[in-house]
Amino acid sequence: MTDASLVVTNLRVEFSGFVAVSGVSFDAHPGEVRFLIGPNGAGKTTCIDAITGLVRATGSARLGEKELLGQQVHRIVRLGVGRTFQTASVFEELTVLQNLDIAAGRHRTPASLLRARRGTDASIEQALEETGLTGELATPAGILSHGQKQWLEIAMLLVQDAKVLLLDEPVAGMSHDERAATGDLVQRIAAKRIVLVVEHDMDFMRRFATRVTVLHQGKVLSQGTVAEVQADPQVQEVYLGTADAIAVGTPNRTEV
Ligand SMILES: Nc1ncnc2c1ncn2[C@@H]1O[C@H](COP(=O)(O)OP(=O)(O)O)[C@@H](O)[C@H]1O
Ligand SMILES: [Mg+2]
């Protein structure tokens, strides 16, 4: 549970002269499902990389009173900021439970390690339940479905008690049912945490976002509710001629 908000102000990232993120500002609060969308190359992943300390950035990214920029990666993790990657990064040869044990490592006392060998501890059980993976406890992560691997990554952040979850294209490559399940999961976990979903799938965004920031060429193009962003002519223009054009251009289209 967190009361703090994530406030990003004037974020800027430069890669040897190329400005990938330029003056980006947005905030995310517990209880909302915050989306960051934009075409490929817009700078979405770079924003997450900057917030988590993987690339150098200027500006500010504050979690409550704490400035994240300039801190080392492990410090940012310890402050409660977790992220997933576009390609799931679980330990494929280990079981679901073993993956969660590793994620829970920093909280483990010898006594709870013993308990974990006999059964599972409460935080792991809860994460398994929340992500629908209870039945897969003994399954090697490598043979999970694509969707289940993403959920395991999220479960690993939950056992770490992450206050901020930055999810990079969590539904890419998922089936229709997996997308719906992921949307429900994201809504559940966002109730008590800060959740920022990076996505270029407009349909998923329209179903689950509370507020949206649209990035284009490293800059904020538009920001607001789903309805506001969809009605923004600038957003429609950027997505025009792409596969998403119809979804953006017809805000009243019936949901599937
Ligand atoms: N390490 C890097 N070095 C140089 N350019 C990069 C690097 N990472 C990303 N970029 C460039 O920055 C831009 C934004 O990339 P990215 O944040 O991955 O976009 P998105 O996630 O929105 O698709 C792209 O033009 C990309 O090629
Ligand atoms: Mg990306």
Which tens digits make up the pLDDT trace of 75-133? 999 999 999 988 878 999 999 999 999 888 744 455 655 555 555 688 999 999 999 99
**pLDDT score recorded for residue 255:** 38
> Residue ranges of the chain with pLDDT lower than 50?
106-108, 241, 243, 245-256
**pLDDT score recorded for residue 112:** 57
Ligand 1 centroid to Cα of residue 15, in Å, is 9
- Is residue 87 a contact partner of residue 79, using CB atoms and an 8 Å limit? no
Question: Measuring from each residue's beta carbon to the nearest atom of ligand 1, which residues come in under 6 Å?
Answer: 15, 18, 20, 38, 40-46
Q: Which residue CA neighbors atom 11 of ligand 1 most closely?
A: 20
Q: Which residue CA neighbors atom 8 of ligand 1 most closely?
A: 46
- Is residue 81 a contact partner of residue 162, using CB atoms and an 8 Å limit? yes
Q: Which residue CA neighbors atom 16 of ligand 1 most closely?
A: 43
**pLDDT score recorded for residue 119:** 58
Find all residues with CB under 8 Å of 102, minimum gap 6, and list them: 91, 94, 156
Enter the pTM of the model.
0.89
How many CB atoms are located within 10 Å of the residue 17 CB?
5
User: In the CATH scheme, what is the code of domain 6-87+162-249?
Assistant: 3.40.50.300
Handedness of CA 243, 246, 248, 254 (dihedral sign): negative
